[in-house]
Chains A and B, each alone.
Chain A
Amino acid sequence: MPRFLTEFFKRNGILMGGLMLGLVLFWTIGLIILPQLSMLDFSFRPNLPPPEMGGPKDVYTLENYHHLIFGPEGASAAYNYIDLGVFFRTIVAAVCITIFNLILCYPIAYYLGQSRGNHVRIFALMLIIPYWINEILRAFALRIIFGQTGVLNTLLVSLGIFDQPYDFIRNDIALYAGLGYAYILLMIFPIYNVIESLDRNQIEAARDMGASWVRIHRRVVIPYAKPGISSGCTMVFMLSAGALAAPQILGGPSSLWFTQIIYQWFNDNSNWPQGAAYAVVLLVTCILLVMAAMRLFKVNMGDIGK
């Protein structure tokens, strides 16, 4: 038995240690790894009616992945432009939402992390309380704000800024706002956590040496907050790329989110293997992107957990 395990059992006792280890293993293996492996397995199989499963036709195939890239057999276009388009748009939009969220949340997190006193707790509470309302209701609330006859349009038209109501929903502004808003806390709190532990003397030392605010952030605060920034960005990116409720409710009629296509394969078309292949592609792409970004910004895996 490796040393960390013996020590773990010595510290917690056989019974408690075994229970904790068992639960963690059940959670990671039973609830995460095995279902994902079965999804992976699904994605390489043809869509067969139940009686034929395990029969001679049930062989491994790449046809589900082929479908995403080249479209159905005998299609006129060379590539599956519709699904691929949605896929890239989803990824790009998720990246944009992440960047936008970071720009919006970093100052808030910095302010919260460096202020002392009661107002910080009140501020944090005001950020948290809206999240007591469930996601669907929050999305519909945004629909009310951004709708044709919504609060925003009424205001803008009555102020004379627009002649006629602007279609925020068709132009996806409502969707991006909704997705941005949905995960704002997951960006603020990891950054806030790190910045809170930043010694304020370091900021003052930099200022004393003549550094401007931009330089202080670039050289002192941001490098220090990098673990928080990367874990915030990772979560926001993964969750917005995989969001379903907000695109369903706030998306325009013509714009699909890639998760909605996956959902359609599973539910409307009852084609689990096809859905699984799409989901696997989304998952792998997201992980690769996150890892590439981590390499680019020199972030270690261990930092993400901070």
Chain B
Amino acid sequence: MSRGVGVELKDLWIQFDDFVAVRDANVAVEGGKFFSFLGPSGCGKTTILRAVSGFLDPSEGDILIGGKSMRGIGPNKRPTALIFQNLALFPLMKVWENIAFSMEITGASAKARRKRADELLDMIALSDQGDKLPSELSGGQRQRVAIARALCAEPDVLLLDEPLSALDLKLRQHMRTELREIQQRVGITFIYITHDQGEALTMSDHIAVMKAGVIDQIGTGKDVYNDPATPFVASFVGENNVFRGKVKTVSGGEALISTNRSGDLLARISPANQGLLKPGDDAMLFIRPEAFSLSQSQTAGNTRVTARVTNEEFEGNAFNIFMEGDLGKQIKVAIPNLGQSFESRQGQTIALEYDMRNAVAMPAGPMATE
């Protein structure tokens, strides 16, 4: 049983001339899990994937698959299969030939190949499409063919390089569910590369958030979303409002931060930053749009913020209110649409409140640029 093989990156350092694409990455991907590397384009996540698949040699450090060092082992000898961003299906081969291509190499007969291809076609619900050319399929179908082709070689680790990015929104959301299901069914390790935090959060067991060649945080989707370790993670994963200021007091896991324009705000310090904030330090405080509520009369224990409304919009599932905020950014508040009436507050100064458990404080640092 070779299922559930783990992948380890040890002090991985990848450099192209002067440019460091990956800096000291240490990651342990558990076998049989869905692991995502999440980061903006150019952060080095594709470089990591190419190194794991063997198309690129690390400058320093090592990659272990199933505990075995992959040094000097070519891409065709590794127990990995890669799904390319553009899928890279062979346009001149029929769908079934595409799927069973890896079996040609092992010398399987055409009959055996066809049989296996048909099994996989059943699995991806494309039973009668084997004799078509890839160009005759829809985007989502091609997607599934690429997955089947990669799975045909029975790899221990499936590597996916943003394979959903070319699909339209509805299909992308559908394919997320499907990919997750396939992963759970076959039980092998998936390593997924994406810049889309929605994909990473919905599919992954664990996520590594990357910025400019450095892994900022590794954790479950919940960890990364609720307890961001750095301002970059806080601002890149999901939407967030930032408040900047100086630490006034620290007590237990909480910090009171005196902000430039919103007064003193109370927040909890995220687990990764415990003990790193001292009074007088520059700090950043993040509150999600959905963590605010419009303050009628202040709930006990909640903190209040007042600001002037500059814009309002209706997004369907929520009303968004934008207010003058810190650092040239607007404060965004999302009020869920539950059928209530919504009166415009354009131009008014209104009060918001939040539960301090939903506010995260951390040392100031660079944020994600949109």
Contact = CB atoms under 8 A, between A and B. Distances in A.
Interface in A183-219: 199, 201-202, 204-212, 215, 219
B153 interface: yes
B148 to A, nearest CB: 12
B153 A223 contact: no
Given A208-B75, A208-B81, A210-B76, A201 B102 contact: no
Contact of B92 (A199, A201, A209, A223): A223
Contacts of A201: 84-86, 88
B314 interface: no
Q: How big is chain B's contact interface, by range? A: 20 to 34
B55 A210 contact: no
A205 B102 contact: no
A202 B88 CA distance: 5
A223 B133 CA distance: 14
Interface in B74-89: 74-77, 80-82, 84-86, 88-89
Contact of A205 (B77, B84, B92, B104): B84
Contacts of B96: none
B90 to A, nearest CB: 6
A215 B105 CA distance: 8
B101 interface: yes
Interface residues of A, number: 17
B90 A219 contact: yes
A199 B86 CA distance: 9
Contacts of B189: none
B84 A210 contact: no
Contacts of A223: 92
Contact of B82 (A202, A205, A212, A220): A205
A206 B84 contact: no
A204 B88 contact: yes
B53 interface: yes
Given A204-B75, A223-B92, A211 B86 contact: no
Contact of A215 (B82, B88, B104): B104
A210 B85 CA distance: 19
Contact of A209 (B54, B74, B102): B102
A208 B53 contact: yes
Contacts of A220: 90
A224 B101 CA distance: 16
A208 B101 CA distance: 11
A219 B103 CA distance: 13
B104 A208 contact: no
Nearest to B97: A219
A212 B105 CA distance: 8
Nearest to A218: B104
Contacts of A212: 76, 105
Contacts of B91: 224
A194 to B, nearest CB: 12
Contacts of A210: 76-77, 102, 105-106, 153
A209 B92 CA distance: 17
The residue among A201, A202, A208, A209 with the most chain B CB atoms within 10 A of its own CB is A208
Nearest to B106: A210
A58 B74 CA distance: 75
B101 A209 contact: yes
Contacts of A215: 104-105
A206 to B, nearest CB: 7
A51 to B, nearest CB: 62
A207 B82 CA distance: 10
Interface of A: 199, 201-202, 204-212, 215, 219-220, 223-224
Q: Which 9 A-B pairs have the closest CB atoms?
A: A201-B88, A209-B102, A205-B88, A210-B76, A201-B84, A210-B105, A223-B92, A208-B82, A202-B88
21 contacts: A199-B86, A199-B88, A204-B82, A205-B82, A207-B55, A207-B75, A208-B54, A208-B76, A209-B76, A209-B101, A209-B149, A209-B153, A210-B106, A210-B153, A211-B104, A215-B104, A215-B105, A219-B90, A219-B93, A219-B104, A220-B90
Given A205-B90, A210-B76, 6 more contacts: A201-B84, A205-B88, A208-B53, A208-B82, A209-B102, A219-B90
